[in-house]
Amino acid sequence: MKEDEKILEKAVKALKDENVPSGPSQELKNATINKLNRVSEQPNTIEFEKQLHFSDRLIAIKSLAKFAVAAVLLIIIGFAVGRLSNPQPPNMEEIQASLEPAIREQLLGEIKQYMQLGMANSYVRLKDDLTEQYRRDLNQLAANVVNASGTVTNQLLQDLIETIDEAQAKERQWFTAALEQIELNRRQDKAQLGNALASFAVRTEDELQQTKENVEQLWSYTQTDGLVPNEFENSNNKN
């Protein structure tokens, strides 16, 4: 801020300190005096303008007065002419008779046009109403059909589910019975097999005993022939 102030002060000082040539010159002075003389010789424009305004105003008032007089005369003449040329009162019956057909025709035309317009409007409105009603009925019917079909479908599906459940139950029962039968058969087979194995074991033991005896007997026969193998005898002792 101070810097700006300084710059401004410097600028003002520079402007004031500028070298101004001495003057004005004598020529300029003379020219100025001549110009002043010329200007002073001219009439005072303000007073002239005032006078001019006053004279203009007088002229305007005069012309306005003339115009007003002319207007009044014109109005009077017009009034007189109007009074003198006042027409006779018209015959109302003739006028009525002449106007009635035209009015009737025009009225009929207007009524016809109005009716046509009204019918056209009512036709359009009726058409719109019917269309709207038809659309509503169709929507209602479609909704009913959809509801009914849904109910029937649900019933059929319910029946199908029940049938499938029954079939599955029967199948499970049959399957259970079959499993029970298989189990029973298995147990019977197991029991028979056990019995058979037991009898087979007993028989096998008997047969082995029989075979042993036969072999001993056979051995005794062979011993009697003089042949006494020591090893065979030892093995029998061990047994």
Partner 1 sequence: MQVVDWNIIIKEHGPVVWQTAYRLLGNDADAADCFQETFVCALELSRRQRVRSFPALLIRLATTRSIDQLRRRFRHERIGTNGHNQLEGSNNNTDPVQYVQQQELAARLRIALTQLPLQEAQVFCLRYVNDMTYRLIANELGITTTAVGVILHRAKTKLRRFFKASIKEPRSEVVL
Contact predicate 232/219, CB 8 Å: yes
| Residue 33 or 97 having the CB closest to partner 1 | 33
# residues near partner 1 by CB under 8 A = 30
What part of residues 43-62 is at the interface with partner 1 (CB under 8 A)? 44, 46
Rounded least distance, CB 33 to partner 1, Å: 6
Note whether 66 binds partner 1 by CB under 8 A. no
From the list 34-42, 70-78, 136-144, 170-178, the region that binds partner 1 by CB under 8 A is 34-42
Note whether 17 binds partner 1 by CB under 8 A. yes
Rounded least distance, CB 24 to partner 1, Å: 4
Select the residue interacting with partner 1 from 5, 41, 94, 231 (CB under 8 A).
Answer: 5
Note whether 102 binds partner 1 by CB under 8 A. no
Select the residue interacting with partner 1 from 15, 84, 92, 227 (CB under 8 A).
Answer: 15
Residues that bind partner 1 (CB under 8 A): 1, 4-5, 7-8, 10-12, 14-24, 28-29, 31-33, 35-36, 39-40, 44, 46
